[in-house]
Amino acid sequence: MTAVDQHPAAAFEDNDQKPVGHGRMLRKEDPRFIRGKGRFCDDVQLPGMLHLAILRSPVAHARIVSIDTSAAEAHPKVKAVVTGAALAEMGLAWMPTLSGDVQAVLATDKVRFQGQEVAFVVAEDRYAARDALELIDVEYDLLEPVIDARRALDPSAPVIRDDLDGKRNNHVFDWETGDEAATEAVFAAADVAVTQDIVYPRVHPAPMETCGSVADYDRIDGRLTLWSTTQAPHAHRTLYAIVAGLPEHKIRVISPDLGGGFGGKVPIYPGYVCSIVASIVTGKPVKWMEDRSENLTSTGFARDYIMRGEIAATRDGRILAVRTNVLADHGAFNGVAAPVKYPAGFFGVFTGSYDLEAAYCKMTAVYTNKAPGGVAYACSFRITEAVYLIERLVDCLAYELKMDPVELRIKNFIQPEQFPYKTKTGWVYDSGDYEPTMRKAMEIAGYDELRAEQVERRARGELMGIGISFFTEAVGAGPRKDMDILGLGMADGCELRVHPTGKAVVRLSVQSQGQGHETTFAQIVAEEIGIPPADIDVVHGDTDQTPFGLGTYGSRSTPVSGAAAALVARKVRDKARLIASGMLEVSVADLEWQKGSFHVKGDPTKSVTIQDIAMRAHGAGDLPEGVEGGLEAQICYNPENLTYPHGAYICVVDIDPGTAQVKVRRFIAVDDCGTRINPMIIEGQVHGGLTDGVGMALMEMIAFDEDGNCLGGSLMDYLIPTSLEVPDWETGFTVTPSPHHPIGAKGVGESATVGSPPAIVNAVVDALKPFGIRHADMPLTPSRVWDAMRGAPQPPI
**Residue 43 found at the interface with a copy of itself (CB under 8 A):** no
Q: Among residues 126, 570, 606, 618, which is the contact residue for a copy of itself, using CB under 8 A?
A: 618
**Distance of alpha carbon 318 from the chain centroid:** 33
**Residue 544 found at the interface with a copy of itself (CB under 8 A):** yes
b/e per residue 419-453 (b: at least 16 CB within 10 A):
bebebbbebbbbbbbbebbbbbbbebbebeebeee
**Residue 247 found at the interface with a copy of itself (CB under 8 A):** yes
Q: What is the 3-state secondary structure (H, E, C) of 729-793?
A: CEEEECCCCCCCCCCCECCCCCHHHHHHHHHHHHHHHHHCHHHCCCCCCCCCCHHHHHHHHCCCC
Q: Among residues 144, 404, 537, 725, which is the contact residue for a copy of itself, using CB under 8 A?
A: 537
- Binding part of the chain for a copy of itself, among 138-146, 258-266, 622-630, 681-689 by CB under 8 A, reads 622-630
Q: Among residues 96, 259, 500, 739, which is the contact residue for a copy of itself, using CB under 8 A?
A: 500
Q: Site residues for a copy of itself, window 346-385 (CB under 8 A)? A: none
In the complex, least distance from residue 642 CB atom to a copy of itself, rounded to whole angstroms: 16
Q: Among residues 1, 11, 17, 31, which is the contact residue for a copy of itself, using CB under 8 A?
A: 31
Do 280 and 240 form a contact (C-beta atoms < 8 A)?
no
Do 277 and 87 form a contact (C-beta atoms < 8 A)?
yes
**Residue 249 found at the interface with a copy of itself (CB under 8 A):** yes
Q: Among residues 491, 591, 670, 748, which is the contact residue for a copy of itself, using CB under 8 A?
A: 491
**Residue 547 found at the interface with a copy of itself (CB under 8 A):** yes
- Binding part of the chain for a copy of itself, among 144-152, 358-366, 492-500, 663-671 by CB under 8 A, reads 492-500
Q: Following CA atoms 120, 121, 122, 124 in sequence, which dihedral angle do they give, to the nearest 10 degrees?
A: -150
Helix, coil or strand: residue 63: strand
- Binding part of the chain for a copy of itself, among 106-114, 194-202, 434-442, 502-510 by CB under 8 A, reads 502-510
d(CA 595, CA 525): 11
In the complex, least distance from residue 485 CB atom to a copy of itself, rounded to whole angstroms: 9
Which residues, 6 or more positions from 443, have their beta carbon under 8 angstroms from its beta carbon? none
In the complex, least distance from residue 7 CB atom to a copy of itself, rounded to whole angstroms: 29
Q: Site residues for a copy of itself, window 624-663 (CB under 8 A)? A: 628-630, 632, 634-638
Q: What are residue 107's phi and psi, to 5 degrees?
A: -65, 140
Which residues, 6 or more positions from 211, have their beta carbon under 8 angstroms from its beta carbon? 229, 264, 265, 269, 271, 272, 289, 290, 295, 299, 300
Q: Site residues for a copy of itself, window 209-228 (CB under 8 A)? A: 218, 220-221
Nearer to a copy of itself, 44 or 211 (CB): 44
**Residue 504 found at the interface with a copy of itself (CB under 8 A):** yes
In the complex, least distance from residue 509 CB atom to a copy of itself, rounded to whole angstroms: 10
**Residue 505 found at the interface with a copy of itself (CB under 8 A):** yes
Do 317 and 407 form a contact (C-beta atoms < 8 A)?
yes
- Kindly state the DSSP code that residue 720 receives in the 8-state scheme: -
Q: What is the 3-state secondary structure (H, E, C) of 100-114?
A: CCEEECCCCCEECCC
For residue 420, say if its preceding peptide bond is cis, omega within 30 degrees of 0.
yes
Which residues, 6 or more positions from 724, have their beta carbon under 8 angstroms from its beta carbon? none
In the complex, least distance from residue 487 CB atom to a copy of itself, rounded to whole angstroms: 5
Strands 223-228 and 212-218: what pairing? antiparallel
- Neighbouring C-beta atoms of residue 56, cutoff 10 Å: 21
d(CA 484, CA 80): 38
**Residue 245 found at the interface with a copy of itself (CB under 8 A):** no
Nearer to a copy of itself, 560 or 653 (CB): 560
Give DSSP secondary structure letters for 126-186: HHHHHHHHTT-EEEEEE-----SHHHHTSTTSPPS-TTSTT--SSEEEEEEEE-HHHHHHH
In the complex, least distance from residue 574 CB atom to a copy of itself, rounded to whole angstroms: 15
- Binding part of the chain for a copy of itself, among 148-156, 292-300, 481-489, 594-602 by CB under 8 A, reads 481-489
Binding mask 298-337 for a copy of itself (x = CB under 8 A): ----------------------------------------
Nearer to a copy of itself, 68 or 218 (CB): 218
Q: Among residues 535, 671, 692, 750, which is the contact residue for a copy of itself, using CB under 8 A?
A: 535
- Binding part of the chain for a copy of itself, among 153-161, 194-202, 364-372, 541-549 by CB under 8 A, reads 541-549
**Residue 570 found at the interface with a copy of itself (CB under 8 A):** no
In the complex, least distance from residue 244 CB atom to a copy of itself, rounded to whole angstroms: 12
Nearer to a copy of itself, 11 or 620 (CB): 620
Nearer to a copy of itself, 220 or 589 (CB): 220
Helix, coil or strand: residue 312: strand
- How many contiguous H segments (helices) and E segments (strands) does the chain have? 20, 30
Nearer to a copy of itself, 29 or 692 (CB): 29
Beta bridge partners of residue 103, listed in sequence order: 95
Tell which phi-psi region holds residue 653, choosing left (phi > 0), alpha (psi between -120 and 50) or beta: beta
Q: Among residues 75, 308, 457, 503, which is the contact residue for a copy of itself, using CB under 8 A?
A: 503
Q: Site residues for a copy of itself, window 660-719 (CB under 8 A)? A: none
d(CA 504, CA 370): 48
- Binding part of the chain for a copy of itself, among 142-150, 155-163, 614-622, 672-680 by CB under 8 A, reads 614-622
Nearer to a copy of itself, 71 or 636 (CB): 636
**Residue 250 found at the interface with a copy of itself (CB under 8 A):** yes
Q: Among residues 293, 545, 609, 709, which is the contact residue for a copy of itself, using CB under 8 A?
A: 545
- Kindly state the DSSP code that residue 683 receives in the 8-state scheme: H
In the complex, least distance from residue 220 CB atom to a copy of itself, rounded to whole angstroms: 5
In the complex, least distance from residue 240 CB atom to a copy of itself, rounded to whole angstroms: 10
**Length, in residues, of the chain:** 797
- Which ranges of 544-655 does DSSP label H, i.e. alpha helix? 563-584, 610-617
d(CA 92, CA 104): 9
Burial of 259 (0-12, 13-18, 19+ CB in 10 A): middle
- Binding part of the chain for a copy of itself, among 345-353, 497-505, 646-654, 767-775 by CB under 8 A, reads 497-505
Nearer to a copy of itself, 539 or 584 (CB): 539
Q: Report the interface residues with a copy of itself, using CB under 8 A.
A: 31-32, 35, 37, 45, 47, 218, 220-221, 237-238, 241-242, 247-250, 484, 486-491, 493, 497, 499-501, 503-505, 535-537, 539, 544-545, 547-548, 618-621, 628-630, 632, 634-638
